[in-house]
Amino acid sequence: MSRPGEPSDVPSETYRLGQRDIEAAINQMLGRDPEQRRPPRLAWGTLINGLAKAGVVVSEEDLIAVPLTVELDRALEAAIGE
């Protein structure tokens, strides 16, 4: 718990999670956030192997470079106020 006057990592009660927050968190976890140090090893091995079996050869860097689009269910959009 924070002391008065100290910054807190806990969002305020008025903070609303939005689609951009979700996209930013996913990009950070995938090593796509240019302001964050890239994770030492991403968990893309299974996807890379599955794609290779289907004849699609990609690297981790290729997957990082793919554009990310997050589509939310209408009920979730309504719940977060998007």
Tell me the mean pLDDT in the region 2-17. Answer: 62
pTM: 0.51
Residues with Cβ within 8 Å of 19's Cβ and at least 6 positions away in sequence, in order, are 70, 72, 77, 80, 82
Q: Give the residue extent of every domain in the chain.
A: 19-80
For residue 26, the model assigns a pLDDT of 80
pLDDT of residue 9: 59
pLDDT tens, residue by residue, 34-79: 677 666 566 678 888 999 999 999 998 888 888 888 888 888 888 8
CA distance 3 to 18: 28
**Which of 67, 64, 70 has the alpha carbon at shortest distance from 36?**
64
pLDDT, tens only, 15-45: 777 888 888 888 777 777 767 766 656 667 8
Q: Report CA-CA distances (Å) from 39 to 11, 13, 42, 70.
A: 25, 31, 6, 21
